[in-house]
Amino acid sequence: MKKVKLTVLSNERLTKDVFEMRLGGDVSAVTRPGGFVDVRLEGYFLRRPISVADREDGSISLIYKTVGDGTRAMSGLGEGAVLDVLTGLGNGYDPDASGDKPLLIGGGVGVPPLFWLCRELVKRGKEPSVILGFNHADEVFLEDRFRALSVPVAVTTADGSRGVRGFVTDAMDDFDYTYFYACGPLPMLRAVAGSSRTDGELSFEERMGCGFGACMGCSVMTKNGPVRVCREGPVLGKEDVIW
Amino acid sequence: MVKTEVTLCGIALKNPIIPASGTFGFGYEFAELYDINCLGSISVKGTTVSPRFGNRTPRIAETPSGMLNSVGLQNPGADAVVETELPRLAAVFDGPVMANVSGFSVGDFTAACEKLDAAPQVGWLEVNISCPNVHGGGMAFGTSPEAAAEVTRAVRKIAKKPVIVKLSPNVTDIVSVAKAVEDAGADGVSLINTLIGMRIDLRTKKPVLAEKKGGLSGPAVRPVAVRMVYDVYEAVKIPIVGMGGIARAEDVIEMMLAGASAVEVGAANLTDPFACRDIVKDLPAVMERYGIEDLESIIGGAH
Ligand SMILES: Cc1cc2nc3c(=O)[nH]c(=O)nc-3n(C[C@H](O)[C@H](O)[C@H](O)COP(=O)(O)OP(=O)(O)OC[C@H]3O[C@@H](n4cnc5c(N)ncnc54)[C@H](O)[C@@H]3O)c2cc1C
Ligand SMILES: Cc1cc2nc3c(=O)[nH]c(=O)nc-3n(C[C@H](O)[C@H](O)[C@H](O)COP(=O)(O)O)c2cc1C
Ligand code: FES
């Protein structure tokens, strides 16, 4: 973990309520796709945990939905704003754990961390496929960027306004996969774990006090005993989760 | 050169800064971030005689200038603390450690205290009779002077180390509880634990915390803590460890002027992992700014 000052390079709207913020500075502690950062916002006591959606030399990208006051304040920050950020938090996905054909399954704002993961998998010579689940057509984001990696992409929408009608699990059987990586709301994770035919990794969310293992605010029970979502997580193995 | 050394129940500290129980784990994880030997002491996570997982999540909610927690004393139990956690801390921290202990019966308290009292690196026992986050005990001991005195007497009888009793602010008259534990043999008191609070989520229209209520801490509670330390200082002769909302060196001085011999820093560690290091670093300059040469000389100075 590193506490750093990062500068907002851009902060753009992707959909009605989803934004992408690119932050520049010392991002040397950000090494694992699926890991997260904890952002201090002026006027708010606790930091906001946000997954790293992508990382390049000297910058990271965060993709976040405005759900409450803190994320709304984030969306109002302009280029040049400086943020106090804890970087390099969480265990992240293990890109080496999958076979040749991993399946990436994201729902809503669970999609972002899968983008950097997908790039890492492609870099390793694997052939990932991607399922992106949303409620409506106008909520879809990142599809183009996944397609630009030349990987198979399926989009599902709950109302059928785009792609496959239904949930991500309705598209899973269309793929032949050796392993899966998932991130999204809890009901989606539960359904994915239930429908999956292989082993895999799932990323969880909990309310956090610190984000780095000090307060036990984010503990959940697993088959291996208690774990802190911020430290031993947020990514847990399918076999370890107690549903 | 200003003097930051203080004495707490006969044990010398290089400065009065102590991370508060529950906000610093067992200390060693912070040693990955900075040399924690700069700290006066460390109050480790509240320990019970048996392991506890604690409460369901959500356990954390944000509040104006503070937070609620309902962790519920998650800890690996006294034996694991003595065998695994304290040795790991000893590898990175040379000073005396404050062992924070909780229980659900007098027997629980004495059993856990006995194990921790025997660990050589433990300097003080901090007996937490004030945890608002556990059902069937915890705080009940801290809300009645008689029950508080009973736990204090029992622990005092078996302990070789100084016994500091941690008081609950969730009472009408904290002074009567402080006096009761002093009469029962406490070597010191620490205050305040968290204030019971609640937040309701407008989207779900239900309490944010799974346990509905939790303990409020952070800068929001500091004036309450300063007032309680001030009142207790007038009534007891034993030393006071003051806490509640301390986040800066200035806050340390305010708490000591109210009557604290040393201070604990809680929630501030969670929002800034370097908070205690920075308070220690800033303290001499802030003392100079306010014309303070010897920190120990200002204890109770506001009275
Ligand atoms: C490991 C992790 C990674 C995350 N990654 C992303 C991401 O990439 N994109 C994204 O849009 N969101 C992500 N979230 C969720 C994000 O943290 C919350 O949406 C955000 O904190 C809400 O803040 P707010 O002030 O707008 O909402 P409010 O409801 O006003 O926040 C009040 C408090 O609750 C906390 N909180 C509220 N919702 C959540 C939640 N779902 N999870 C954890 N804490 C919450 C806030 O941090 C704050 O402390 C992630 C959460 C975790 C734990
Ligand atoms: C997440 C969290 C966990 C805590 N756990 C304990 C505990 O195990 N034992 C205890 O005596 N106090 C515990 N406390 C209370 C603190 O030690 C302290 O008394 C209180 O938070 C007030 O200080 P602050 O405002 O600086 O946080 C906890 C506080 C927090 C925020
Ligand atoms: S949020 Fe503090 S331990 Fe995970």
Rounded to the nearest integer, the mean pLDDT of chain A is 97
pLDDT at A184 over 90: yes
What is the distance in angstroms between the Cα of A97 and the nearest Cα belonging to chain B? 27
Residue of B54, B57, B65 lying closest to A207 (CB–CB): B57
Residues A183 and A105 in one domain: yes
Q: pTM, whole model, 2 decimals?
A: 0.96
Q: What is the pLDDT of residues B8-27, one digit of tens each?
A: 999 999 999 999 999 999 99
Q: Identify whether B9 is a catalytic site residue.
A: no
What is the distance in angstroms between the Cα of A118 and the nearest Cα belonging to chain B? 31
Range of the domain at A116: 95-205
> Of 3.30.70.20, 3.20.20.70, 3.40.50.300, 3.40.640.10, which CATH number belongs to B6-54+73-195+218-298?
3.20.20.70
Q: What angle do CA B54, B173, B17 make, to 5 degrees?
A: 60
Mutational pocket test of ligand 1: of A14, A51, A91, the residue with most ligand atoms within 8 Å of the beta carbon: A51
Residue of B54, B67, B219 lying closest to A209 (CB–CB): B67
- Within a domain: A196: yes
Place of tokens 């622990």: B155
CA gap B263, B158 in Å, rounded: 26
Nearest-atom number in ligand 2 for the CA of B73 is: 8
Mean pLDDT of B17-39: 97
Residues A137 and A198 in one domain: yes
Which pLDDT band holds residue B1 (cuts at 50, 70, 90)? confident
Residues A100 and A188 in one domain: yes
Instruction: Give the count of beta carbons closer than 10 Å to the beta carbon of residue B6.
Output: 23
Rounded to the nearest integer, the mean pLDDT of chain B is 96
Q: Tokens for B4?
A: 């930051």
Chain A neighbors of B63, CB-CB under 8 A: 45
Q: What is the pLDDT of residues B282-303, one digit of tens each?
A: 999 999 999 999 999 999 999 9
CA gap A216, A221 in Å, rounded: 12
pLDDT at B255 over 60: yes
Interface mutation target, options B62, B134, B203, B277, chain A, most CBs of A under 10 Å:
B62
- Phi and psi at residue A66, to the nearest 5°: -85, 105
Nearest-atom number in ligand 3 for the CA of B60 is: 1
Q: Which residues of A touch B (CB under 8 A)?
A: 1, 3, 40, 44-47, 86, 206-210, 212-221, 226
Chain A neighbors of B23, CB-CB under 8 A: 210, 214-215
- Asked whether the beta carbons of B213 and B77 are under 8 A apart, the reply is no
Q: Who contacts B198 (Cβ-Cβ below 8 Å, separation ≥6)?
A: B68, B207, B209, B212, B213, B214
Residues A59 and A115 in one domain: no
User: Is B25's CB within 8 Å of A219's CB?
Assistant: no
pLDDT at A243 over 70: yes
- Within a domain: A214: no
Interface mutation target, options B55, B60, B69, B133, chain A, most CBs of A under 10 Å:
B60
Ligand having the closest approach to the CA of A34: 1
pLDDT at B137 over 70: no
Q: DSSP assignment, residue B31?
A: G
CA gap B244, A52 in Å, rounded: 34
Residue of B58, B219, B270 lying closest to A215 (CB–CB): B270
The structural domain count of chain A equals 2
Place of tokens 């950020």: A85
Residue % of chain B over a pLDDT of 90: 95
Which CATH number goes with the domain that contains A140? 3.40.50.80
Name the residue with the closest Cα to ligand 1, atom 6. A50
User: Is the backbone peptide bond immediately before B162 cis, with ω within 30 degrees of 0?
Assistant: no
Domain edges within chain B? 6-54+73-195+218-298
